[in-house]
Amino acid sequence: MNRKFVVTVVVALAAFSVVLAEEFTGRITKVGSDGKTITVQKGKGKFDKDTKKFTFEKEGDPKEYTVSADAKVMQKAGGGKGKKKKAEPTAIENGLKNDMFSKIEGDGLAATITTDDSGKVTAITVGGGGGKKKKAGG
C-alpha cells in the first residue's frame, strides 16, 4: 500500500513539473541592457480578412523574464507558398546583443518564447516576415 502511494506521488510531481514549463507567443518589447532579461507582451497575431492586415491581440500586462545563460536565440527561416518542408530556425548572431534587439520599435518583435520549470527563458524564436515584399511598380 505504501509503495503505491510513493509511486503515485512521484508520477504526480513529474506531471506537475512538465506543466510548469511553457511555450507561448508574444512580442518582445524590451531587452535588458545586460542581455539577461526581456520584457514580453503575451498575445497572438490575428489576420483580418477585411483589411488584409495582421493585428496583435494582447493577453494581460507585459511581464519581465530572466533569460538563461545558454538560451537559444533564433529566427524563423523563410517558408512560403509552394514549400513542402518548413525550414529550420537559424541562430541569431550575438544572441540578445544583436542590433535587432537594441532597436525595438512599435509593438515589439513577434516571437515564440520557451521557459523551463523555474520560469527562465530557454529559447527565443523571433517570428518571420510575411514573405518577400513587392517592389513598387512591379
- For the stretch 53-85, pLDDT in tens is 877 888 889 999 999 999 999 998 765 555 566
Q: Is residue 12 part of a domain?
A: no
If one counts the domains in the chain, the total is: 1
Sign of CA dihedral 43, 44, 49, 53: positive
Q: Which domain does 107 fall in, by range?
A: 21-126
pLDDT in tens, 81-123: 555 666 788 999 999 999 999 889 888 999 999 999 899 999 9
Which pTM was predicted?
0.70
Distance CA(50)–CA(113), nearest Å, equals: 30
Per mean pLDDT, which range of 38-42, 45-49, 84-88, 95-99 is the poorest? 84-88
Q: Is residue 132 part of a domain?
A: no
